Amino acid sequence: SITDFAVTGLQSFLTLTCIMIVVTIGSEVNESPQRHIFLLNRQRLLLLSGGHQASLASDVVDAEHRDQGHVDQVANIIDVLCTDIAAEHEVHPMRLVGLYCGYSLLSTLYVIPAYVISSAISYCRASETSAYCSL
């Protein structure tokens, strides 16, 4: 009946909407490590360039030269952190049904509605079951 059709359609719509929301959020989660790496590298480069600019100034104090080793150590730690974040993301990205969450996943999921529509058409065209498809 038409009620069953409406309920099934609403359920399918809600399921696909939930999948789209999960894909959108998953895409943002998967893009965040790259953004973190970019920001950390930016800070590392600013830290290093600030240390070199201070060493080029004419009124450099000896204490600043001693701090340059500390600045280099912090820059190396930030570099290791960036490498660790990238490696962690490669090993454990956010996935949905075993597929990488992103907008490309939506094109993969178009198979589901196409399969359902194809099955419904073949079900209604079969001579044994065509009586069940009349509204």
Question: Which stretch of DSSP H or E encloses residue 105?
Answer: helix 103-109
pLDDT at 6 over 70: yes
Angle (deg, nearest 10), helices 2-56 and 111-125: 170
What average pLDDT does this structure show over 16-34?
A: 84
Q: What tens digit of pLDDT does each residue of 84-124 get?
A: 999 988 888 777 666 677 777 767 667 777 787 888 888 88
- Check: CB of residue 89 under 8 Å from CB of residue 35: no
d(CA 28, CA 32): 6
pTM: 0.58
Distance of CA 14 to the CA centre of its chain: 22
